[in-house]
Each structure stands twice: as C-alpha cells, then as structure tokens.
C-alpha cells in the first residue's frame, strides 16, 4: 500500500505544471469565474503529451485580460435553430447534388429562393421571442467557460495538424492565426471552433485538394447563397443565426469570416482602416497567409485573396488585430498616465501600413514643452471631424517627433493630447516624393493666410468623383428626338449633347421646337446607358396645356444667375401620367441625383397628343454633392483649429460667405444630410479640393 501511494504521488507531482505568472495574474482578475479557467488548466496539465495544448490554454488565459464583449446576448429563440438547420439541410442537399460546383451553386441558390419562398414567409410571420441583450463591457476573464475553451482548443489543434494551410505554422504563429476564439476586439460574436467547424466545415473542407481561394469561395457561397432562402433577419442580436440572414456591415463580415475560416484550419486575421483619405468612415477586412507566407487581403463575403476589392476607397493607416499584446504600440510607449485615443487604447494591434503602401519615416519639429511621449498624425473626417491615425515618438531633447509610417499624398494634421483634449502643433501638410531631397521626399505645408479676407461663392461640399465625370463624358453624343408615330419611325433630332453636362439640373434649349406626341432620350451606341438622374420636358404656359406642373428649378450657381430664375414662372413641365406621383417611381423622375435608369438605353415621354417642348431640363447621374436648396450648411476654416464662419440655409445651388480669410484651408459641412465632405482652398474664384485639384 505504501508503494502504491508513493507511486501515485510521484505521478501527480510529475504531471503538474508550474502556472506562469501571467496566468496567475489572470486568474486573480477572473473573480468568480476562476474555477472555470482552472478546469481548463487541469484538463491539459496532467499529461505530458498534451504540453502544447497546455501552453495554448495558458496563452489564451494569460491574454484574456485584454478582451471583452461590448454586449452579451442570451436567450435566443430556439426556433431560429430549427429554421436555419432546415435551410442548411436544403442547401447542403444541393451542394452534394452539384458536387460543390460553385458556378452551379449560384444558380441553385437563386432557384432555392423561389422554391422555398414559403420558408422566408414563415420566418417573417412567426413571432420570435426577443433575445436578452446585456449592454456594457463583459470581460472574457469573467465570462469564458471551461467547456467552450476545451472544445475550441481541441478543434484548433486538430485543424492545425490536418490543414495544408496551417500545418506549417510555428506554435507562436498558430497561437495568433488559428487558435484565438475572439475574431475581433470587443465584438460579441464568439462560438467555439468545434461548433463553427460542425456547421461550415462540410462546405469549406469538402474538397481536401481545393486551393485556398476555392475554400474561401466555398464559405462565401454557403453564406451568400443561403441568404437567398431566408432573406432579412426578423430581429437583431441572434448570435450565429445572423450569418443566415441579410443585413450586415463590414465588421460583421470580417468577424464571421475570420472565426469560421480559422475553425476550418485557414490562418486568418482581421485588419482595418480607421479613416479613409477622401471619405468618412472606416473599414474592416480579412487577411490570410498564402503559400509564400504573404498576407493577402480579402473581404470574406465579396472578394478573394490577392484579387483586390478589399477596400472601397483610399485608406489612411492600416492596422492588424492580434490576440496578444504587440511591442512598440502606443500602449507601451506612452508615459504613465498619458491619455491614449480609443484607436490606440489596446496593445493588441500593429500598424501594417507598410505592407500595403509605400511609407516614409518622417521627423517634424515639436516645439511644445510637455511631458508626453507620443504625438499623432490626424486625418480629416467629416462626421468625426478629426481622427488620429498613426503615432510618433517625441524626442524632448531635440524637440522633434518621428513618425515611422507616414503615407505619401495624405493630408495630415500634427497633434498631441493635453489631458483628453487634442491640441495641434505646426501646420497641416502632406508628404510628396522628391528624389532631389536627401530623404527622398519633401513636406508640403498648407500655410495659413488669414490676412486677406473677402467673399467666397461655394457650389460644392465635395469634389466631383472621377467615375461620375466619366459618366457625364459618356453622355456626349446622346440625343433627344421627337416623333408622332409610336414606333419612332418618323423621329426627328431635336437636340444632341455635345459637351459633358455638369452635375446639376440644367437646361438644353431646343433651337427649333415643334409639336410631337412622343419624346425620347437615347444614349449613344458607344455608351448605351441612360444615366439620367433628372429629366423634365419644359414648355411655355402660353400653350395652355392641362397635363402640366411647375418645373423643378434649374441650378443657380452664382448670385448673378438668380435673375434668370424669374423666367421660370412662365414655364411648366409636361406629364405623361395623371400626376407626378404616377411618374416619379421611375429613376429619371424621382428627384434623386444618385439614381438613374442606366440599365436602359432610352427614356421616353408618352403624350396623349402632340405638344411643343421648348427646353429639356436635365441632370446626369452624379453623387449629389453640390449645394442643395433648403439644406443647412456651415463653413469652417483652419487656424490651428476649425473655426466656424457661421451657418446658412441655402436658397439656391450656391452659398455666399463674406469677410472670409481666402487663403485658409476651408471645409463646408451639410448639417441636413450626406457625409461626403472634404477640405478645399478658394483661389481665383474657384474651390480647389484636396486630392482632386491639389494633391495628386
């Protein structure tokens, strides 16, 4: 008996592992959840052959303190599982029937939409019990359960050993690229890898010889085509079932895709830009390691690795999210107590801008006498106003600050924090390549000039986009014809567009108007798209027609043009329906500059009898960033901060501001609607916008 007891004790002592200090600290912070985390450590701590799994468990628990959910979702109606399982079984039957052929599946998904329309109707008729949503920070250390972690770790190791895309990873790489249960910082979507692999592995890993792109494409088809069956979600916050329905944003796509693909053995991480160069907004996307160990970008539901399309505009600095803290981040570089903006409040991220674009190491003078260790380059963001996008380390001895990842051709405002307040130093600038300089670049500053003041006339809050200019240019050669036969066999040319029209409602005056029963816009054969945003056939009141309404006012782009509007009181527009409401369901009559019947070549006005049209009021399809009547605007100019020049409600398609510092950087904000706004200079009576007229 004594020998047996000694053997047991030796076995137990030999199997126990010393818990790392970081894990001990995490256990202290876990509170009442400590027992659950210790179960995980005990589960992997007794057997020598599970040493890597034990280290993996320690990695997750030690770094769990950095992670939390912004909300907790419980009590999801079990009927969601029944509906979604049924839809999945239907789709999987088709998957097997087509042999997983992606081209066939796209058509199959659309046929399922018709065949199982009753299922979508049933879901929207069914009264689901609302989920229980607990808002506020839910710390992972106090929420993660042992069964979740054990099944997740076991699945991660299984796919690490089996997946051709993961088995070459080192243990450290595996811990970041495959193992983490959390796809994105603070995101509430968390399901164990075992559960996700059960649901999606039969698609992603169906063909063990499939390439990386084909496996990701299989996931895309499973997610996107399935939604043809179920449509829009009947409510929010339904956990994993959100994946089965329409209605998601880029962060959702990235989080779902990252979690599922990791669970199936594909190393994936999430990257993001917190600001765009031109546009307001941010974007999340995924990256995966290719066979050359390079990170390839993709949007999990709409693009494949290495094929582009991962970002819709030109981003500012880019960041990759990690599970464990990364050295050299602001979290560790700041002095004790120094405030960090929200973007940099977590150490679990890394600036990867240099992997996607050319950057330079930029040193700027830093005259403020402060104890901070960090300064920032700030991007203009219309709705958020200003957004720090990268950091620099301050050298107080030489009174300078060095930024390691400054992008070329981006407007930056240098700044630092005084408490939680953003303070600016130096003038806004952009970096331009210049091989004549020793550094290979030069800094172009926007020197403030507030001495000369005058009147500015503004017609836009954002420049014309190149693709919208191309749309207008493609309308050259389009024609307007009149006819009295319904088949247009007797059509006569009444007007031809010979120059690209501007992005506003303007008049084409018909030189020799006649009476026609049918009028038609016809795009050219070279560009057969009726990209007509607004269209009205205008005539004089003197004709006495009854099928008329007052016209929409043409654009008045300057103070002197206001006199021309008086003549409109004698004009009317022709209707080919009982009322304008009966016409404006069509894109060319809906009053929206951002819609057009571009799928068609022609637009026709069908009158009951011949009538005279004297002018055509027309606007090409455009982004609608001109001044809009009735909208409330505010002009700002830069003088070490954005200073307001006051608000105006637009009476016409222009705004007039007096006593304005003409040489300053300006910004016009629309308080009524829209989000596309960009700084500009006012020179020689024109607005010169960044990136379009100044920074190329």
Residues 51, 148 within the same domain: no
Residue 350 is assigned to a structural domain of this protein = no
Residue 644 is assigned to a structural domain of this protein = yes
Q: Which two three-digit tokens encode residue 551? A: 């016209």
Between the alpha carbon of residue 98 and those of residues 87, 203, 216, 246, 363, the distances in Å are 17, 12, 18, 24, 59
pLDDT tens-digit series, residues 1-16 = 555 444 444 444 444 4
Predicted local confidence at residue 6, as pLDDT: 44
Predicted local confidence at residue 2, as pLDDT: 58
Residues 412, 372 within the same domain: yes
Of the three residues 55, 77, 99, the one that is the final residue of a domain is 55
Q: Which two three-digit tokens encode residue 286? A: 């995924």
Residues 508, 545 within the same domain: yes
Composition of the chain by helix, strand, coil, percent to 5: 30, 30, 40
Q: For residue 369, give the DSSP letter.
A: -
Of the three residues 579, 594, 620, the one that is the final residue of a domain is 620
CATH number, position 430? 2.60.40
Q: For residue 9, give the DSSP letter.
A: H
Residues 130, 251 within the same domain: yes
Q: For residue 102, give the DSSP letter.
A: H
Residue 189 is assigned to a structural domain of this protein = yes
Residue 220 is assigned to a structural domain of this protein = yes
Q: Which two three-digit tokens encode residue 537? A: 């056939």
Residue 594 is assigned to a structural domain of this protein = yes
The torsion angles phi and psi of 342, rounded to 5 degrees, stand at -50, -35
Residue 327 is assigned to a structural domain of this protein = no
Residue 410 is assigned to a structural domain of this protein = yes
Predicted local confidence at residue 185, as pLDDT: 85
Cα gap 479→101, rounded to integer Å: 45
Other CB atoms within a 10 A radius of the CB of residue 684 amount to 5
Question: What's the domain range around 439?
Answer: 359-445
Of the three residues 620, 639, 659, the one that is the final residue of a domain is 620
Closest CA to 266 of 295, 242, 307: 295
The number of helices, as runs of H, and strands, as runs of E, in the chain is: 15, 31
Residues 177, 210 within the same domain: yes
Cα gap 336→348, rounded to integer Å: 18
Long-range CB pairs of 466-474 (<8 Å, 24+ gap) are 468/503, 468/620, 468/621, 468/622, 468/623, 469/500, 471/531, 471/620, 471/621, 471/622, 472/500, 472/501, 472/502, 472/503, 472/620, 472/622, 473/500, 474/524, 474/526, 474/527, 474/529, 474/531
Residues 42, 81 within the same domain: no
Q: What is the mean pLDDT of each successive set of 10 residues along the chain, which is 696 residues long?
A: 48 56 94 95 74 95 94 89 90 80 66 80 91 86 95 97 95 97 88 95 91 93 84 88 88 94 97 92 93 92 90 92 96 95 94 95 94 96 84 96 96 96 94 90 88 92 95 98 97 97 96 97 97 98 96 94 83 96 96 96 98 98 96 95 95 95 91 92 92 85
Average pLDDT taken over every residue of the chain: 91
- Count of structural domains within the chain: 5
Residue 351 is assigned to a structural domain of this protein = no
Which single residue is written with the structure tokens 């999801």?
A: 76
Residues 438, 478 within the same domain: no
Residues 127, 203 within the same domain: yes
Which single residue is written with the structure tokens 């954005």?
A: 642
Residues 565, 601 within the same domain: yes
Predicted local confidence at residue 8, as pLDDT: 44
Residues 633, 614 within the same domain: no
Predicted local confidence at residue 495, as pLDDT: 98
Contacts of 468 (CB under 8 A, 6+ apart): 503, 620, 621, 622, 623
Q: Please give the share of the chain, as a percent, with pLDDT higher than 70.
A: 95
Predicted local confidence at residue 450, as pLDDT: 76
The torsion angles phi and psi of 174, rounded to 5 degrees, stand at -55, -40
Predicted local confidence at residue 15, as pLDDT: 43
Predicted local confidence at residue 12, as pLDDT: 44
Predicted local confidence at residue 102, as pLDDT: 62
pLDDT tens-digit series, residues 171-219 = 999 999 999 999 998 888 889 999 999 999 999 998 888 999 999 999 9
User: Virtual CA dihedral for 211, 213, 214, 218, nearest 10 degrees?
Assistant: 140
Residues 82, 181 within the same domain: yes
Residues 102, 35 within the same domain: no
């Amino acid at each position: 008996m004594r020998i047996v007891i000694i053997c047991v004790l030796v076995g137990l002592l030999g199997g126990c592992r010393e818990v790392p200090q970081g894990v001990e600290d995490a256990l202290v912070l876990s509170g009442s959840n400590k027992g659950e985390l210790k179960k995980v450590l005990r589960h992997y701590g007794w057997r020598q052959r599970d040493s890597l799994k034990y280290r993996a468990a320690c990695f997750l628990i030690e770094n769990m303190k950095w992670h939390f959910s912004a909300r907790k979702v419980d009590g999801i109606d079990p009927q969601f599982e029944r509906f979604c399982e049924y839809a999945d079984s239907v789709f999987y039957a088709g998957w097997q029937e087509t042999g997983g052929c992606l081209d066939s599946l796209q058509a199959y998904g659309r046929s399922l939409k018709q065949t199982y329309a009753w299922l979508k109707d049933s879901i929207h008729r069914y009264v689901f019990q609302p989920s229980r949503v607990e808002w506020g920070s839910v710390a992972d250390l106090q929420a993660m359960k042992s069964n979740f972690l054990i099944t997740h770790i076991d699945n991660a190791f299984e796919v690490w050993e089996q997946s051709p895309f993961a088995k070459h990873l080192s243990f450290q790489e595996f811990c970041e690229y495959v193992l983490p249960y959390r796809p994105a910082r603070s995101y509430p979507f968390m399901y164990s890898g075992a559960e996700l692999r059960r649901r999606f592995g039969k698609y992603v890993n169906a063909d063990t010889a499939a390439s990386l792109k084909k496996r990701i494409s299989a996931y895309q088809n499973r997610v996107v085509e399935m939604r043809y069956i179920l449509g829009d979600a009947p409510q929010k916050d339904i956990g994993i079932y959100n994946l089965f329905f329409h209605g998601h944003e880029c962060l959702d796509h990235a989080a779902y895709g990252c979690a599922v693909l990791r669970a199936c053995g594909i190393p994936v991480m999430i990257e993001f830009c917190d600001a765009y160069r031109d546009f307001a907004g941010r974007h999340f996307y995924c990256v995966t390691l290719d066979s050359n160990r390079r990170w390839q970008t993709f949007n999990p539901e709409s693009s494949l690795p290495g094929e582009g399309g991962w970002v819709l505009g030109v981003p500012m600095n880019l960041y990759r999210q990690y599970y464990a803290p990364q050295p050299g981040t602001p979290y560790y570089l700041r002095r004790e107590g120094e405030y960090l903006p929200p973007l940099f409040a977590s150490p679990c991220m890394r600036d990867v801008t240099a992997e996607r674009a050319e950057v330079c190491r930029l040193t700027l003078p830093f005259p403020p006498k402060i104890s901070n260790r960090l300064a920032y380059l700030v991007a203009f963001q219309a709705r958020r106003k200003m957004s720090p996008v990268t950091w620099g380390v301050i050298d107080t001895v030489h009174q300078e600050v060095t930024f390691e990842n400054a992008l070329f051709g981006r407007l930056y405002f240098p700044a630092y924090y005084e408490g939680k307040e953003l303070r600016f130093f130096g003038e806004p600038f952009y970096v331009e390549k210049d091989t004549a300089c020793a550094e290979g670049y030069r800094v172009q500053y926007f020197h403030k000039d507030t001495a000369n003041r005058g009147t500015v006339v503004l017609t836009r809050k954002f420049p014309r986009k190149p693709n919208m200019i191309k749309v207008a240019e493609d309308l050259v050669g389009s024609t307007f014809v009149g006819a009295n036969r319904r088949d247009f066999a007797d059509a006569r040319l009444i007007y031809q567009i010979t120059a690209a029209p501007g992005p506003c409602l303007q008049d084409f005056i018909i030189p020799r108007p006649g009476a026609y029963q049918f009028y038609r816009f016809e795009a050219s054969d070279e560009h057969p798209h009726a990209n007509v945003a607004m269209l009205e056939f205008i005539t004089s009141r003197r004709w006495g027609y009854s099928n008329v309404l007052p016209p929409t006012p043409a654009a008045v782009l300057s103070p002197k043009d206001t006199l021309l509007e008086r003549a409109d009181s004698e004009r009317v527009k022709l209707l080919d329906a009982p009322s304008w409401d009966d016409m404006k369901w069509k894109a060319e009559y809906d009053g929206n500059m951002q819609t057009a019947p571009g799928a068609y070549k022609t637009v026709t006005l069908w009158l009951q009898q011949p009538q005279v049209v004297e002018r055509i009021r027309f606007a090409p399809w455009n982004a609608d960033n001109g001044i809009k009547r009735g909208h409330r605007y505010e002009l700002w100019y830069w003088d070490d901060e954005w200073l307001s020049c006051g608000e105006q409600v637009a009476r016409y398609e222009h705004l007039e501001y007096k006593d304005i510092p003409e040489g300053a950087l300006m910004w016009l904000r629309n308080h009524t609607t829209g989000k596309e706004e960009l700084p500009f200079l006012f020179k020689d009576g024109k607005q010169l916008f960044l990136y379009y007229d100044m920074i190329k």
